Amino acid sequence: MEFTVRQIAAFLGGEVIGDHDLKINNVSKIEEGKPGTLSFLANPKYESFIYETKSSAVLVNRDFKPSHQIQATLIKVPDAYKALAQLMDMYVQSIPVKKGIEIPSFISTTANIGTDVYVGAFSYIADGVKIGNNVQIHPQCWIGRDSVIADNTIIFAGVKIYPDTRIGKNCIVHAGAVIGSDGFGFAQQEDGTYKKLHQIGNVVIEDDVEIGANSTIDCATMGSTIIHKGVKIDNLVQIAHNVEVGENTVMAAQVGVAGSSTVGKNCQLAGKVGIAGHLKVGNNVTCTAKTGVTSNVSDGKTVMGFYGIDASRYRRINAVFRNLPELFYEVNQLKKEIKNIKAE
C-alpha cells in the first residue's frame, strides 16, 4: 500500500517539516533507510543516523531539534515510538483477514463455531470446543476437548491447546506454543523411582493476553493456572502448574516460573528470570535479567542477581565483587604487616 506524508501526518496528528506529497510504501530502520520508506527516531543514541539516512521521511518527537541539515522529510509527533505503533496497527488492519474452513481439517460435529472464523488446513478441533466470532486458527493447530476460544483471538500455526483450556477475547498465541500440558508433578517412591501425579486442572487465559512462540503454560494439578488480563509473554517462557500471573505483567524470553507461585500486577520480568515454587511476587515488581527469585518479593521492589537481592544492595555487592583481587592482595599485605608487628 502507498500513502503520502500528508496522509500519514493527518492520521497521526503530526506536523510535516518538508515535502507533504512524498509517497511512502514501506518502513525501514533509520540506519538502513531506503527511498520511499518511513523510519523513526525515538532513542537519542541513534540521532547520528538521521543526518545520513536515505529514508524519505522520519517520525521524530515533537521536541526534536536537529543539530545538522537533514535531507529527509520530518513528521513531528508527541511520541515517535507510539506513533509507529499506530501506523503498524493501521497496516495490519489493512491486510485482508482470512475466513472459512480449509480442507483437509477436522472439526467435531459437537464443536460450536462462531461467525467469520478461519480454520487453517490440517487443524484438529475436538468434541465440545467453542470458538467465538472472528477467531483465526492457523494451519496444524490442535484444539483439545471442551476448550473455549473467545472472539477475535488469533491462534498461529502449530499451537497445541490441551482439553478444557479457556482463552479470552483479543488474545494472540504465537506459533508452537503449548497450553495446558501436564505440570511437572512426580512422587518419589521408596525404591527411588517416581510415580506420576496426574494433573486434572486446566489453564485460564483472560482477555488481551499475548503468548510468544514456543512458550508453554502447564495446566494446574487441581484448579486452574491463571494468566490474567493484559499479560504479555515473550517466546520460550515456561509457566508451571497452578501459577497465577497478575494483570498487565510482562515477561521476556526464557523466564521460568515454578509451580504454585503468584506474580502480581504490572510486573516486569526481564530475560532468564527464574522464580522458585510456592512464592509470592508482589505488584509493580521489576526483576532484572537473570535474576533468581528464591523468596517472596514485596510490592514495588526492583530485584537483581542470582538470589534476587534488593537492587541497591546488589549494586554495592557487585562493586565489591569487581574489586576482589585487589582486596585479596591488600588483606594479605595487612596480615603480613600485623604478623610483623606482633613479632616485634
Q: Which residues are catalytic?
A: 241
Taking the C-alpha atoms of residue 101 and residue 195, their distance in angstroms, rounded to an integer, is 42
Taking the C-alpha atoms of residue 105 and residue 101, their distance in angstroms, rounded to an integer, is 8
Cell (9 digits) for 34? 531506503
Q: Name 134's bridge partners.
A: none
Of 113, 196, 108, residue with least CA distance to 151: 113
Taking the C-alpha atoms of residue 288 and residue 275, their distance in angstroms, rounded to an integer, is 12
* Nearby residues of 307 by Cβ (< 8 Å), 6 or more positions away: 292, 294
Phi-psi region of 290 (alpha: psi -120 to 50; beta: other; left: phi over 0): left
Q: DSSP character for 239?
A: E
Question: Which residue matches cell numbers 494439578?
Answer: 221
